[in-house]
């Protein structure tokens, strides 16, 4: 069963499940939600702090990014807590190269960059994801 909330995906990670898997399953829940209100409800409960500053900051970035991309009425306040930001940059790449770090620094959405997380242009894309905005553009960022 897919996590019903972002918080639940992090709870599963704390219980030993792979965070990438739990987060991907949560994204399916979020993207398949029928209304903005239902989507917002999946973000409102605060994920537990994991003890891993990267993951704790990632939770804040995911909540803010999804709320902005889908024009939700609010962004959960917990996403802006100090614990949801990194002091040192995290480039989310398996390749340790200057070129890759430069690309990620340029491409990262603001919600991730502001937390010192540098990732690809559309970090939360899934095959099931509808277009975030009705502008006719397939680009979510």
Q: What are the domain boundaries of the chain?
A: 6-118
- Cα distances from 39 to residues 1, 57, 74, 93, in angstroms, run 17, 20, 11, 29
Tell me the C-alpha distance between 94 and 76, whole Å. Answer: 30
- Cβ proximity of 119 and 48 under 8 Å: no
Region 17-26 average pLDDT: 94
CA-angle at 72, arms to 26 and 19, nearest 5°: 20
More reliable by pLDDT, 38 or 102: 38
**Binning pLDDT at 50, 70 and 90, where does residue 123 land?**
confident
Q: Is pLDDT above 80 for 112?
A: yes
Q: Is pLDDT above 90 for 125?
A: no
Per 3-state DSSP, what percentage of the chain is helix, strand, and coil (rounded to 5)?
50, 5, 50
Q: Residue 90: phi, psi to the nearest 5?
A: -125, 110
For position 19, what pLDDT does the model report?
93
- Cβ proximity of 82 and 26 under 8 Å: no
* DSSP-assigned letter for residue 117: E
pLDDT tens track for 56-87: 999 999 999 999 999 999 999 999 999 999 99
Tell me the C-alpha distance between 124 and 139, whole Å. Answer: 12
Region 121-131 average pLDDT: 70
Region 102-106 average pLDDT: 88
């Amino acid at each position: 069963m897919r996590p019903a909330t972002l918080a639940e995906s992090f709870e599963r990670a704390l219980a030993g499940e792979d965070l990438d898997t739990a987060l991907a399953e949560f994204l399916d829940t979020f993207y398949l939600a029928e209304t903005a209100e239902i989507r917002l409800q999946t973000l409102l409960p605060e994920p537990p702090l994991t003890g891993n500053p990267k993951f704790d900051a990632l939770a804040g970035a995911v909540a803010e990014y999804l709320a902005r991309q889908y024009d939700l009425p609010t962004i959960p306040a917990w996403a802006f807590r100090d614990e949801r930001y990194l002091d040192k940059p995290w480039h989310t790449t398996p390749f340790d190269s200057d070129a890759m770090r430069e690309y990620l620094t340029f491409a990262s959405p603001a919600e991730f960059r502001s937390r010192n997380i540098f990732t690809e242009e559309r970090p939360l894309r899934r095959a099931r994801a509808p277009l975030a905005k009705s502008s006719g553009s397939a680009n979510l960022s």
